[in-house]
Structure formats: C-alpha cells, structure tokens
C-alpha cells in the first residue's frame, strides 16, 4: 500500500480512452485537431481568453513559464521549499539561462506579501545586483496547503505594484480548486496570475500537463522555446487528447476531490500528529522512527520528511480500503 506520491498512480480511464481516440493519422506536432481545441477549452474553463500549451512534465511547464517572465539577468522570488528550487535539478536556471531564484520564507511553503516585500527590499537599485522580475508560488504548496483567492490576489497586487510577472506552479492546482470550492478563474488571473502550470499527471493524467498563459502574448516566444527544448512532441495529439478528456465533464475535479477526500480521512485519523492542516491531498505527520517502522511493517509505504516526520500522498485512485487500513493503523499507533 503505497503512499509515496501521486506521481506514481495510474492514469484514469478517461485519459486512457483519449489515447485510443487520438490513435489515428493526424497532422504532426501541434497541428492536429485535438491540439487545436486546447485554447478554447481552457479559455472556457478559465472564463477568459488564454493560450494553452501541452507539455510532458510539470518541470517543463514551470521552466517555460519562468523563461517567459524573467530574463537571464533577472531573478524569481519563490519559497525556500519550492519545487522549482529543490526538485527540478536547476530547470529554471537552464530555461531562463541563468536567472537566480531568490528564496523567501513562510510556513508550509506558503508566501505572503510581507515576506516577499522584505526580500525585495534587500535588493539595491544598481547593476551589481540581479533584479527581481517574477514571483512564483505553488498552489497547493509543497506542504499541502492552499492559497485562497484572496491570498493569491494579495500577492498579485504586490506583483502589479512591483512589476513582477506572477507564476503559479499548479502541479496540484486541481486539488487546490477542489479544496477551496472556488473557480479556476478566481484562483488565477482574477488574482493577478500571468502563467499557470496546470498539473494533470499527478491527478490521473498519463503524460500531459497544461501551460496556461493568461497574457496570451507571452505564448509567442514560448512556442519557440518549447520546440527548442525538445518538448514539441511529434504526436502531440495524444497529450492534447488527455487534457481535453480530463476537462470534459470535470474529470479533473472528480479526481482531485477523490484524492482530497482520502487525505481528509487520514487527517481525521492523524489528529494531533498533523504537522500542518490538511488542505489538499498530502498529509504530513509527526512519526517517531519506531512508529514509522511499525507502519511500514504493516505494509504502508511513504517518505520520511525531515526528522520525526513523514509525508503521505493520496492519489485520485488510492484504494479506499487501503486508506481505511492506514487510518486505522495511524489511530492505533
């Protein structure tokens, strides 16, 4: 019973069916009929005109977004625990060609305007220091917290005031939306977000993520960068088809809700052990080495996460019986 990561889950039936549907001769790259429908489908979802590009990984989505928002001689403010800082092997630096990440603090990998403003205040206005050009936040965060539309908007206002591009790493955007009950629009462009990495792979997709530009003009150079990075798949229709299938009838929300529900069940069982509130599909527990060993001996797999803590992630398809068993095991520790 594995609770390592939603990355490891299977693809959902709708995504698999989409592959079969796309499995016929069509124009290569993004000239096919599925890819052609992406802009419209995501524009409808977001209630505004967007440009939507498929890419194969969240890292590529993030790095392409950041390259669109920050020049090589600029910097990007993000949380010290951000995925773009710690888990992408320098992809932002590669795609931006040497921009710096400036690391801000905040509990649960969450930033607020004060922390960002304090960091910005350390930068002198001369050519000796790299100038901030963008802010990147993760929603839900790397610690499973969500930014509310109001919290995003507060950061968006800061970005507007300081002329920073605003990127949201939404590897678990679906989980955030499902948790908040808000619209995708409220959580993004209405709150000032310029570019969103909209994750599908952790949420039941197979190999497609969506990179959404709320300022469509940002997409033009990105199309070149995507090709240049080897991310313009020649049979891109299989990616587009997955995305469309998961937008259709809100499969993405259904999957995210299932994962969030499982996490909530575990959170209830965990009680005082919770390191942070559970707002999406990840839970962080206080767990002694002995307790961790005991859980593992009972067949539950998960990551240690710092000393005395563990991370468990629930997927769209985590078996409810496994979750119940885990909940019981945690209760009985």
Looking at residue 235, what DSSP letter applies?
A: B
The stretch among 8-16, 152-160, 185-193, 260-268 that binds a second copy (CB under 8 A) is 8-16
Q: Is 204 in the site for a second copy (CB under 8 A)?
A: no
On the question of a cis peptide bond just before residue 136, with omega within 30 degrees of 0, the verdict is no
Nearer to a second copy, 108 or 205 (CB): 205
121 near a second copy (CB under 8 A): no
**DSSP sequence for 266-327:** HHHHHGGGBSS---SSEEEEE--HHHHHHHHHTT-B-EE-STTEEEEE--TT--HHHHHHHH
Return the closest-CA partner of residue 39 out of 20, 54, 25: 54
CB nearer to a second copy: give 46 or 238: 238
Q: Pick the piece of the chain touching a second copy (CB under 8 A) from 175-183, 222-230, 248-256, 263-271.
A: 222-230
Does residue number 158 form part of the binding site for a second copy (CB under 8 A)? no
Burial 205-227 (b: 16+ CB within 10 A, else e): bbbbbbbbbbbeebbeebeebbe
Considering the rule CB under 8 A, would residue 99 count as an interface residue with a second copy?
A: yes
Smallest gap from Cβ 231 to a second copy, in A, equals 7
Q: Which of 33, 98, 271, 289 touches a second copy (CB under 8 A)?
A: 98
| Binder among 36, 107, 224, 248 for a second copy (CB under 8 A) | 224
Residues numbered 59-88 forming contacts with a second copy, rule: CB under 8 A: 59-64, 71-73, 75, 86-88
**Which residues on adjacent β-strands are paired with residue 285?**
274, 310
Between 128 and 272, name the residue whose CB sits nearer to a second copy.
Answer: 128
Who's near 323: CB < 8 A, 6+ residues apart? 262, 265, 266, 314
Q: Indicate whether 325 belongs to the interface with a second copy (CB under 8 A).
A: no
Of 76 and 247, the one with the shorter C-beta distance to a second copy is: 76
Centroid of chain to Cα 302? 20
**311 exposed, middle or buried (CB, 10 Å; 0-12, 13-18, 19+)?**
buried
Strand 131-138 relative to strand 309-313: parallel, antiparallel, unpaired?
A: unpaired
Asked whether position 321 contacts a second copy by CB under 8 A, the answer is no
118 binds a second copy (CB under 8 A): no
28 interacts with a second copy by CB under 8 A: yes
Within 167-196, which residues bind a second copy (CB under 8 A)? Answer: none
Contacts with a second copy in 299-318 (CB under 8 A)? 315, 317
Question: Does 105 sit near a second copy (CB under 8 A)?
Answer: no
> Does 227 interact with a second copy (rule: CB under 8 A)?
yes
């Amino acid at each position: 019973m594995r609770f390592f990561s939603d990355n490891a889950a299977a693809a959902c039936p709708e995504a698999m069916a989409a592959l079969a549907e796309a499995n016929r001769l069509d124009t290569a790259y993004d000239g096919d009929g599925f890819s052609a429908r992406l802009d419209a489908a995501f524009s409808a979802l977001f209630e505004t005109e967007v440009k939507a590009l498929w890419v194969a990984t969240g890292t590529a989505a993030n790095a392409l977004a950041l390259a669109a928002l920050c020049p090589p001689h600029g910097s990007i403010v993000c949380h010290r625990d951000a995925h773009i800082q710690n888990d992408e092997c320098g992809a932002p630096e590669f795609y931006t060609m040497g921009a710096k990440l400036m690391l801000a603090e905040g509990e649960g990998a969450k930033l607020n305007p004060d922390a960002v403003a304090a960091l910005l205040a350390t930068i002198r206005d001369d050519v000796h220091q790299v100038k901030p050009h963008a802010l990147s936040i993760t929603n839900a965060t790397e610690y499973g917290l969500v930014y509310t539309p109001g919290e995003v908007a507060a950061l968006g206002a800061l970005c507007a005031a300081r002329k920073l591009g605003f990127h949201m790493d939404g590897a678990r955007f679906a989980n955030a939306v499902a948790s908040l009950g808000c619209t995708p629009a409220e959580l993004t462009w209405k709150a000032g977000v310029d570019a969103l990495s909209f994750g599908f792979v952790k949420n039941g997709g197979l190999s497609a993520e969506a990179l959404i530009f709320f300022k469509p003009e940002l997409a033009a150079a990105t199309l070149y960068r995507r090709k240049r990075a080897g991310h313009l798949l020649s049979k891109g229709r299989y990616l587009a088809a997955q995305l469309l299938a998961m937008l259709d009838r809100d499969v993405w929300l259904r999957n995210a809700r299932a994962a969030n529900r499982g996490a909530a069940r575990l959170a209830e069982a965990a009680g005082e052990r919770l390191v942070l509130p559970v707002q999406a599909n990840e839970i962080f527990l206080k767990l002694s080495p002995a307790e961790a060993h005991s859980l593992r001996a009972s067949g539950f797999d998960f990551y240690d996460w710092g000393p005395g803590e563990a991370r468990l992630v629930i997927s769209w398809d985590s078996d409810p019986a496994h979750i119940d068993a885990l909940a019981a095991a945690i209760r009985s520790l």
